[in-house]
Amino acid sequence: MKTLRLLPIVLAAMGALVLLKGIGLLSNGGYTLVGMDVAVAQSTPAEPAQSASQADEGAGTGREEEPVRLSTIDEAAAQRAADELFSATNSPVPDSGQEDARAVVEDSNGNFSYFDDESLTGNTEAAVLQRLSERRAELDAREKALELQESLVQAAELRLNERIANLEAVEARVQALLDQQTASEEAQFDALVSMYANMKPADAANVFNSLNMEILLRLATKMSPRKMSPILADMSTERAQELTIRIATAQMAPEALELANNSAMSSEDQLPQIVGQ
């Protein structure tokens, strides 16, 4: 950029003003400038001359003399000269035919181009707006995808809750049926126990001798001891012994049962062996 130094011009203007004032003082207000009409000072009424005594009194008091004032013509000429000088400083600088230096930029493809602030600003704003619109589109698409996924999850959760409710209802019905069946079986078995308890001990003992041990164990534990003792007395010795062992072991804890089994095995090992001749 071309710059214009104003300080020398201002100094020149001030010098011209001082010169014009000096010329006005020397010529008593009658001077001419180039391109100006000759100005003739108008006569003013002469002030009465001071007496010598008044002049002496003024000198004795030490009062300073009043500053010299320019006439109207002198002030107009000085103002005109100052306007001409300052109009010269404000005038545009003549073009020398040389262009200002412009910055050169290189793009990504290696091409060089002049740096233009306006075009760069416009391109930057367009790129920013385009990027913002792309980002907004991406966010909108992601939001729609999340909303769709959320709706699918809610639908799956609703179906799962319905399935769990159905399974719980089925489980409740099955449990009710099982409880009903168990109660019916218990009632039937209680009737069977009552039937054997009301039989003659000998007849019941004959049946118990050939009955399955698991069923016999249940019958014996359900039957009262007062009813079971005569039946047990009429049973065979082996069968009565086996039933007694099962009843005893069924009421024992697992640790006590294991200890009893170990004791029985050790006692069998200690039995004397008969060796044939």
Annotate 108-157 with DSSP letters as a single string.
TTS-EEE--HHHHHHHHHHHHHHHHHHHHHHHHHHHHHHHHHHHHHHHHH
Identify which of 40, 50, 36 has the alpha carbon closest to the alpha carbon of residue 71: 40
Structure tokens at 196: 């054997």
Strand partners, 106: 112
| pLDDT of amino acid 6 | 73
| pLDDT of amino acid 21 | 81
| pLDDT of amino acid 277 | 39
Structure tokens at 167: 């399974």
Average pLDDT over residues 184-195: 91
| pLDDT of amino acid 62 | 46
Its pTM stands at 0.35
Q: How many Cα neighbours within 13 Å face the side chain of 223?
A: 26
93: phi > 0 → left, psi -120 to 50 → alpha, else beta; which? beta
Question: Length of the chain in residues, anyone?
Answer: 277
Note the pLDDT tens digit of each residue in 2-38.
455 677 788 888 888 888 888 877 776 554 544 444 4
Measured CA to CA, the distance from residue 120 to residue 126 in angstroms comes to 10
Is the pLDDT assigned to residue 148 strictly greater than 90? yes
Q: Where are the domains of the chain?
A: 1-37+73-87, 136-185, 199-262
